[in-house]
A and B are shown apart, each in its own frame.
Chain A
Amino acid sequence: MRIELNGIPTEVAAANLADALMALGYGGTALATALNGGFIPVAARATTPLHDGDRVEVLAPMQGG
């Protein structure tokens, strides 16, 4: 299926968010995720299914004012 990952169209085979992150190279721990604008906690990633056209945001700590 094709999802939008951080704004970029991306092909994934994984059925849920946790597996998709692993497959896409997001192994780090300090990550926060959102699906279609809503927060998905770490504990819910494995039980969050992905569908064609989903918008996934993967964010990390960054400089800020």
Chain B
Amino acid sequence: MRLYDVDVSSRLLLGTAQYPSPLVLTDAIAASGCGVITVSLRRETANGGASGFWPLLQATGALILPNTAGCHSAREAITTAQMAREVFGTNWIKLEVIGNADTLQPDPFALVDAARILCADGFVVFPYTTEDLIVVERLLDAGCRVLMPWGAPIGSGRGLRHVDALTAMRGHFRSVPLIIDAGIGAPSQAAQAMEMGFDAVLLNTAVAKAGDPVAMARAFGQAVAAGRLAFEAGLMPPRDMAVPSTPVLRMADLGLGGLR
């Protein structure tokens, strides 16, 4: 899979928050086979309270996608992106501009404003967006070449809540890499997104909060791969009525009644 002009080895992207321990986190990253991990910037205490985390992630070899999680204005997100670019040494940014504290849904207006400024400043922007087609067009106009529509509210684990809208988005923007971001709770939901033709899935809580995060990471890796393979293989069209799969032709007539 190519994201902007970078080849990415896996169609699963994994968040790094909420794991029971650093060891479980790195084991989960390895077990998932993911090629990209997301990170954030948070307030540092004096004497380097969080300094061990960054070398740990660098050692995984995964590509780093910093986020602007928690930002509620374009200006906040832009400053955070600039800070992330310097610390993480990448111009990739997962652009989140939250518009509602309950649903954590993107503010599409501020998102487009921030995306335009960041793209012009040389950032490679991965915008967390709703599936609204007009917003998507504006994001593409702003310079985004990859989009990350939400599946369900962040951390909810509800799966794809707006399948029709996501199907329309996929259909309208066939050549734009689309990554389902947020709301995935089970491997079956990730597989569903992949079967629908989405290019990749980004998730965090479903793995981090699983009973066994490392095993769940592996399960998601396999589900994403299976869903993609199914999409490429071409799913059968659904039918309204039953159609026997075993041939009817040359079936024995035992003369014992029943339907013919």
Give A residues with C-beta under 8 Å from B.
6-7, 24-28, 30-34, 37-39, 41-42, 57-65
29 contacts between A and B (CB under 8 A): A6-B44, A24-B46, A25-B46, A26-B44, A26-B46, A26-B48, A27-B48, A28-B44, A28-B48, A31-B44, A32-B87, A41-B86, A42-B86, A58-B43, A60-B48, A60-B51, A60-B87, A61-B88, A62-B50, A63-B17, A63-B19, A63-B25, A63-B39, A63-B40, A64-B40, A64-B67, A65-B15, A65-B69, A65-B182
Query: B42 contacts A62, CB within 8 Å?
Result: yes
B69 to A, closest residue via Cβ: A64
Residue B18 interfacial (CB < 8 Å): yes
Residue of A30, A33, A38 near B51 (CB, 8 A) is: A30
Contacts of B17 in A (CB 8 A): 63-65
Quick check: is B173 within 8 A (CB to CB) of the other chain?
Answer: no
Q: Is the CB of B67 within 8 A of A65?
A: yes
> Which residue, of B16, B18, B44, B155, has the highest number of chain A Cβ atoms within 10 A?
B44
Residues of A within 8 A of B25 (CB): 63
Q: Which of B105-157 contact A (CB under 8 A)?
A: 154-155
Q: Does chain A have a CB within 8 A of B103?
A: no
Nearest to A58 among chain B residues (CB) is: B44
Interface residues of B, count at CB 8 A: 39
Chain B interface residues toward A at CB < 8 A: 15-19, 25, 38-44, 46-51, 53-54, 57, 66-67, 69, 75-76, 79, 82-84, 86-88, 154-155, 182, 204-205
Which of B25, B49, B51: most chain A Cβ within 10 A?
A: B51
Q: Which 3 A-B pairs have the closest CB atoms?
A: A64-B40, A65-B15, A32-B83
Do A39 and B83 have beta carbons less than 8 Å apart? yes
Kindly identify which residue among B40, B46, B154 contacts A62, using a CB–CB cutoff of 8 Å. Answer: B40
